Amino acid sequence: MRIAIDVMGTDLGPSTVIRGAISAARQYPEVRHVLVGDEAVIRGELARFCPGGAANVEIEHASQVVSMSDKLSGFREKRDSSVARAVKLVASGHCDGLVTLGNTAAAVAFSTLMMKCLEGIQRPGIAVPFPSLKGVCLGIDMGANVNPKPEHLRDYGVMGSVYMQAVMGVPSPRVGLINVGSEETKGTPEAREAFALLKEADINFIGNVEGGDIFYGRCEVAVCDGYAGNVMLKAAEGLAESLMTAIREELRRTIVRRIGAAICRPAFRALAKRTDYAEWGGAPLLGVNGICIIGHGRSNSRAVANAIRAAREAVSQRLCDRIVSMLK
């Protein structure tokens, strides 16, 4: 198995990605880790963090970088960027999957263009794991398709269900459609049509759910359009970060609170771990003909290693084949 890793274009720089890749290479010796980016930079970082070298690490040179600020209109001029070359390695069959932590729009655009969509899928969707009181809920779509048709939402439900079964080990994931109320008649005409299509699909569809239901664990897959999904994702990230900051501030105000915080430190660490995106590594782009894991631009080395783990598991479980099989 070969996993291509785009090491350029992230907020924290290539060194963080390379450290995470080295960690993954040590955990998974059977996987060939192909580092894609500026060869001189990669060799320099490998010399720093892995002076003895690693037998299962390769380098694929890319002369260009897609930055976080680059626009969609300029992507075609960067066909030799690290993200484009990583996608091409999968599309050509040289690699089995890829991990990218840079520009999300570029990852979606190049993957859709080069790998194409799976048979029966018209639009890919980004699936993001959300922590819930009962484990994890997979939200799809979180930004790839902001104006989907009802049949696209049906496909998201099927793909999310397959992913939760194959990669997350949930035998019969409950699939809910994000709406403004739980009643079947709620929502736009498109939402009501999507409800009917999901109801007919061969999945454990439980009907409409509201945004808060994700965090209570009332479903394992939450289906929505990319516009609402991306807003929900960014709002959840902001709330989690601001809440943790507020808790720290309040616990430091008095000596009594500081003592109490010291006693409860293990519980706070466990809570932080449950809500840390680094635990999940990245979000799969479901629907393209290949495994693509999109990580957060601010991913640390642990998140990078976990993103590689997610790609490895998706490849091992033959995720794409299972999705196509479910749609037939």
**Do both 228 and 245 map to the same domain?**
yes
On whether residue 104 sits in a domain, the answer given is yes
* Statement to judge: residues 273 and 300 lie in one domain: no
pLDDT averaged over 10-residue windows placed end to end, the chain, 328 residues: 94 92 94 95 90 86 90 83 96 96 92 93 93 91 91 96 91 94 87 94 94 92 94 87 86 87 82 70 92 90 93 94 85
Domain count, the chain: 2
Same domain, 16 and 160: no
Looking at the structure, tell me whether residues 110 and 208 fall in a common domain. no
Same domain assignment for residues 19 and 35 = yes
Q: In terms of domains, do 132 and 265 share one?
A: yes
Rounded CA gap, 285 and 277, in Å?
A: 16
Is the peptide bond between 11 and the residue preceding it cis, with omega within 30 degrees of 0?
A: no
Place of tokens 């009907």: 207
> What's residue 275's pLDDT?
67
Do 193 and 68 lie in a common domain? no
Is 148 found in the same domain as 111?
A: no
Q: Are residues 84 and 184 in the same domain?
A: no
Domain-embedded: residue 328: no
pTM of the full predicted structure? 0.90
Q: Is residue 172 part of a domain?
A: yes
In a domain, 324, yes or no: no
In a domain, 313, yes or no: yes
pLDDT at res. 296: 86
Residues 6+ away with beta carbon under 8 Å from 117: 123, 124, 287, 288, 289
| Same domain for 271 and 185 | yes
Asked if 113 and 143 sit in the same domain, the reply is: no
In a domain, residue 323? The reply is no
Q: Are residues 132 and 149 in the same domain?
A: yes
pLDDT of residue 87: 97
Structural domain includes residue 70 = yes
What range defines the domain where residue 8 resides?
1-121+287-318
* Predicted local confidence at residue 276, as pLDDT: 66
Classify residue 311: in a domain, yes or no: yes
Residue 19 has a pLDDT of 93
Domain of 151, CATH number, reads 3.40.718.10
Contact 203, 234 (CB under 8 A): no
* Furthest-apart CA atoms within the chain: distance in Å: 63
